[in-house]
Amino acid sequence: MNDERSSTEKTGRHSPTIRDVARIAGVSIGTASKALNANGRLRQETRDKVTRVAREIGYRPNDMAQSLHRTRSMTVGVLSTDSFGRFTLPIFQALEEQFADRGIAIFMCNATDDPERERQHLDQLLGKRIDGLVVTARRADKRPPVGPLPPGLPVIYVYSQPDDGSALSLVSDEVGGARLAVTHLREIGCTRIAHITGPEHFEAVLERRRGFREALALEKLTEHPGFYLSGKWSEQWGREAVAKLFDGVPADQQPDGLFCGNDQIARGAAEALRDRGIDVPGQVAIVGFDNWNVMTDAARPPLTSIDMNLAALGQEAGRLLVDMIGGDSIGGIRRLPCTLVVRQSTQR
């Protein structure tokens, strides 16, 4: 770090050039150029170092943009196949930052699940000669691949999967997230864990249920009869499910831990237990899913939850699309890890 800083200081007198960036980063001018132009194959570490140095010495990103401008439109399309919402927002915001840093502008289109409108948008985007395409959705369900697309156009699905598995798809590891939740409940002493979740036509419900069951098996716990309840994504359903699990049920047959499919369900469950004078987390601990702070922070008590790290998904998607525009060929499904965020509802 010290070496770098003193080299940085030496460049203070003239407007920094790519030669300065290369020298200070300890790479060739060709490598520096590749890194800054988001071109070719480079280790992420090298790319990061070069861009950090460029930023530190004030090498102007516009210069990069201009050098690319001749061959590229410097635009990408983001096509949402469902309305924009709570889930696509953090992804979009992270994408936008990634692209803005590289001087790439974003065309934003909303196809609202209407294939004809999607086709229209796609025609328009291709007419603008976009350099790449991001397809995102409100929920992680599978969908037919967009297209037809011109051969070689980089495309990436985020929080969305093409059903033919052809293209690069970035999703959250929801099975892993559910396992985190159950393992955490087990660690704080729960042995009778129930799962209250949303409607089964959501892929997310099936994946989270799979994680729930895998973790029960790993922890050598039993799924008791009636301890899996599928309903709606609402607080109301959380309250109803608690009535089913607790009202008129002998204390030793009630759950002592609830893993809820989203934070709204978890909040409804917490309120319903509160209404019944059942202590959370003392008697029943609760974990939600989504880490949506509007819900987790206002609930009584505040809710432990699983975070899908959608911003990280967006960042990674931005980086990968830039690599693909630079010539890399990347495919397959990548699942990014979820994180457990602990709050009072599991703090015993």
Task: Decide: is 84 part of the binding site for a second copy (CB under 8 A).
Answer: yes
Using CB under 8 A as the binding rule, whether residue 63 contacts a second copy is answered as no
User: By CB under 8 A, is residue 67 in contact with a second copy?
Assistant: no
Q: Please report how close the Cβ of residue 199 comes to a second copy at its closest, in angstroms.
A: 17
Looking at the Cβ atoms of 257 and 261, the one nearer to a second copy is 261
Q: Which tokens hold the place of 316?
A: 């990674």
Q: Which of 65, 41, 52, 99 is nearest to 314 (CA)?
A: 99
The span from the CA of 312 to the CA of 205, in Å, is 22
> Sign of torsion, CA 111 292 304 263?
negative
**Beta strands 168-172; 333-336: pairing state:** parallel
Looking from the CA of 231 toward its CB, the CA atoms found within 13 Å total: 23
Task: Name 52's Cβ contacts closer than 8 Å, sequence gap at least 6.
Answer: none
Closest to a second copy by CB, 259 vs 292, is 292
Q: In degrees, to the nearest 5, what angle opens at C-alpha 134 toward C-alphas 128 and 138?
A: 125
294 contributes a contact to a second copy by CB under 8 A: yes
7 binds a second copy (CB under 8 A): no
Does 301 interact with a second copy (rule: CB under 8 A)?
no
Could you say whether residue 120 binds a second copy (CB under 8 A)? yes
State the DSSP H helix or E strand holding residue 105, giving kind and residue range, or none if neither: strand 105-110
- Cα gap 272→255, rounded to integer Å: 14
Contact between 85 and a second copy (CB under 8 A)? yes
Size of the site for a second copy (CB under 8 A): 35
Considering only CA atoms, which of 55, 25, 59, 56 is closest in space to residue 42? 25
Answer for which of 218, 243, 249, 298 binds a second copy (CB under 8 A) is: 298
* Alpha carbon distance 238, 245 (integer Å): 11
Segment near a second copy (CB under 8 A); pick from 91-99, 188-196, 281-289, 312-320: 91-99
Gyration radius from the chain CA atoms:
24
Q: Is 264 in the site for a second copy (CB under 8 A)?
A: yes
Give the one residue of 96, 214, 219, 223 binding a second copy; rule: CB under 8 A. 96
108 binds a second copy (CB under 8 A): yes
- Check residue 119 for interaction with a second copy (CB under 8 A): no
* The only residue of 59, 92, 259, 289 in contact with a second copy, by rule CB under 8 A: 92
d(CA 36, CA 16): 14
**Per CB under 8 A, 125 contacts a second copy:** yes
Site for a second copy (CB under 8 A): which residue of 54, 79, 109, 313?
A: 109
Nearer to a second copy, 18 or 272 (CB): 272
Residue matched to tokens 């895998």: 214
- Give the footprint of a second copy on this chain (CB under 8 A): 62, 75, 78, 83-85, 89, 92-93, 96-97, 100, 103, 105-110, 117, 120-121, 123-125, 128, 234-236, 264, 267-268, 294, 297-298
